[in-house]
Structures are given as structure tokens and as C-alpha cells.
Amino acid sequence: MIKPHGANELTSLYIASDSERAKAIEAADALPSLLISSGAAGNAVMMGAGYFTPLTGYMNKADALSVADSMQTTAGLFWPTPVLNLVNDAGDITVGSTIALRDPNVDGQPVLATMAVEAIEQFTKEELAHIADKVYRTTDPEHPGVAAFLAEGTVSVSGPIQVLNFSYFETDFPDTFRTADAIRADIEKRGWNKVIAFQTRNPMHRAHEELCHMAMDQLDADGVVVHMLLGKLKPGDIPADVRDAAIRKMADVYFPPNTVSVTGYGFDMLYAGPREAVLHALFRQNMGATHLIVGRDHAGVGDYYGAFDAQTIFHDDVPEGALEIEIFEADHTAYSKKLDRVVMMRDVPDHTKEDFVLLSGTAVREMLGKGIAPPPEFSRPEVAQILMDYYQSL
């Protein structure tokens, strides 16, 4: 099986032993505590679940700035996005202390992790804007990722952590949330060797489904792991539970047995386009995938990124050998009326726009809200029904 990033084994920071975890939870209640941001909580979950191997905790200021500038820590570890714990005020917390990190996304703000504090450092607004410009390629406050990042705070509290739970992801999505360790175990159990990861923050329409089939056929892969984001999105995006139901229905009906696994991970969407695509590749390698599908405007939002910037970054900016996972570069996919099947647009240069079934997201949402199913060339009827039920309930 493919090796984890920068290590021979996964670095999973979750305390797996029930008895040790119970002791750690009891002890954590007596520690000084810090309420962290949703973004920092997602970072803790990803480190706990092994996806962020080989990190052992939050980055300090020097590493965060180095990663923003060069996609490398000061020690030379390849990493595409800073993994920070930013707050507005560290209060009475001191370097050398052990503290409890409290979860902002769960009622009662329980302890999510404990941290051995190694550094408390102040970022200037200019430094944070520099990071945003490097990672998001913009400092526009209208960009949802930039807005979330710049709202987290200016004080970095860093150090190694131990994770005590997986926030709301494990309880709200018990059939879907999986750690990197669990996905690796499932891949091994299924007997898969060549494994494709498909990233999604949306329901999968027919073009997405067929793209997975195309990648499997062209790569002669054993299976595809549909790996959906379960964390926070921008306003207007479809909630995770609805996406989960729609994707599971698609997988159950339209994939042969033992060719697809539907799973999810606990993280907030960054909308960082190219940099986030590289992060997606890195933690898919950690979960055991050998290939990641990177399509048009992968992890993008609005018009902030070029259509294929998330593909070219792997050629232009990722050093050779930095990652072992390979990228399957996909074009925009749509149903061809001429050929009566879904195709990648680059593969049919003789087609015009009128030869495809193309619907805007706005048009699809309006149809679903009125109880009108999109055409079967665009969305499978079983999937459309789940989405119609959701939109009509709003």
C-alpha cells in the first residue's frame, strides 16, 4: 500500500485506548482551557484521524510563514497550507503549560484536545494578509476562505496535541466519518491496490458519477473512495447529511459491488483552490489512495482561480517526489446529446455548447425547489428526489 506522507506509518494523534482516553478527559477538565476556532478544531480532527501525517501539532509562526511562502516547513517538510491555532487572546496561558482546547462546534464546548504549549506568538495583520495572499491567491474579504481565516485571530498558540474525540463528525455521521487508519484498513480488506479518491463538497450528479467510472477504466483501478467533506461550507451550500444521503443512493444503484466506498472527513472547506487541491492530495495519500481526481476549478469558489490552476500547480509548484499519490486530471464533464453518454469536453472537439446538456447551479436549485427533477442526463432520478425533498423543505 502507498506510504503515508513523510513517514512509514500514520501519525494519528487520537488517544485510541478507552481507558487512557477516559483518564485524559478527566485530567483535561482541570487544565487551563482555550476556546479555539472552527478552523483550528478541524485541524485537530484531521491530526487526530491521521490525515495530517506526519504533523504532531499546530505549526508555529515561522513554519506557517515558511509554508505560505514555499510549501515547506522550516525543517523542510513539504506541506501546502499552514495548520494554525489562531485566537484573539491567549489570556493567562504560558509557554510550557499543558492546556485544554475546547470545541466551538459542540454544545457545552467540551474538550477536543490537549496541547503542550511550545509557543505563543503574535501575527501582524500584514503577516496574516501575506499568508492569505499566498494560500488563497487573494486578500479579498469577500472570499469565504479568506474571511474565515482572517476572523480567527492574530495570536498563534502552537505545540503538540493529543486528540480526545472527533467533534460532531463521529456522532452526526457515524456511517460516513472515517479516520485515515480506518480507510486504509478497509482498502486492505477489499483487496484494492490501485485506489482513486474523489473529493466532493456537493452532491454527485451524473457527470461526477461518470467521471469516477472514467478514471477507474482509464487507470484500471480496483475501486474509488468517494470522500466527502463533512465540515462547514459557505452559506447556500447543501448540508452534509443531504449530500451524504444523495451520494450513498448513487453509489448503491450505479456502481458494481466492491468498486466504491463512501466515506467522509471532518474539516471545514478552505476554498483555497490550487493550494487546497495539493492538501487534498496529501491527505488522500495518507488514507491510502494512489490517485486523486482533480477536475475543473477543484476546491475553488467564484472567479478567484483559473479553470485548471488546481492541476497546473502540481506541475509548476509541487517538487518532484514531494508526494507519491498521482493526479488524474479531469476536464469538465457533461452529457453529450450526439454520443448519448457523459464525456469530458476536451475529448469531443467537434461539439458545440448546444451538443451538451448543461445546467447552471442556479437553474438546478430552482428546478429542485419547484419539485421538478433535472433531466436524467444531468442527475439520476433517485438522487434528484433526495435533493427535491430537501429544497422543498426550506
- CATH number, domain of 327, equals 3.40.50.620
Quick check: is 206 catalytic?
A: no
Instruction: Band the pLDDT of 367: cuts 50, 70, 90.
Output: confident
Question: How far apart (Å, rounded) are the C-alpha atoms in residues 163 and 266?
Answer: 13
Would you place residue 358 in the very low, low, confident or very high pLDDT band (cuts 50, 70, 90)? confident
Q: What is the pLDDT of residues 142-177, one digit of tens each?
A: 999 999 999 999 999 999 999 999 999 999 999 999
Question: Catalytic annotation on 201?
Answer: yes
**Coil, strand, or helix at residue 114?**
strand
- The CA-based angle 207-289-214, given to 5 degrees, is 25
Please state the rounded mean pLDDT for residues 275-295.
98
Find the mean pLDDT for residues 255-273.
96
Q: How confident is the model at residue 238 (pLDDT cuts 50, 70, 90)?
A: confident
Give residue 387's pLDDT. Answer: 93
Point out the domain boundary residue: 126, 145, 167: 167
State residue 307's pLDDT score: 93
pLDDT in tens, 55-102: 999 999 999 999 999 999 999 999 999 999 999 999 999 999 999 999
**240 pLDDT more than 90:** no
Residues 47 and 140 in one domain: yes
Helix axes 309-316, 274-286, angle to 10 degrees: 70
End-to-end CA distance of the chain: 45
Alpha helices per DSSP H over the chain: 18-28, 38-48, 61-70, 125-136, 144-150, 169-172, 180-190, 206-219, 240-254, 274-286, 309-316, 361-369, 381-393
- Is residue 122 domain-shared with residue 202, that is, in the same domain? no
Q: Which residues contact 268 (CB under 8 A, 6 or more apart)?
A: 38, 39, 42, 148, 231, 232, 233
Q: Does one domain contain both 152 and 202? A: no
DSSP per position, 142-169: TSHHHHHHHTS-SEEEEEEEEE---TTH
Range of the domain at 258: 177-265+273-393
How does strand 155-163 pair with strand 86-87? Answer: antiparallel
The verdict on 108 and 232 lying in the same domain is no
Residue 52 CA to its chain's centroid (Å): 11
Number of domains in the chain: 2
Please tell me which residue in 21, 190, 201, 365 is annotated as part of the active site: 201
- The residue annotated as part of the active site, out of 21, 43, 190, 202, is 202
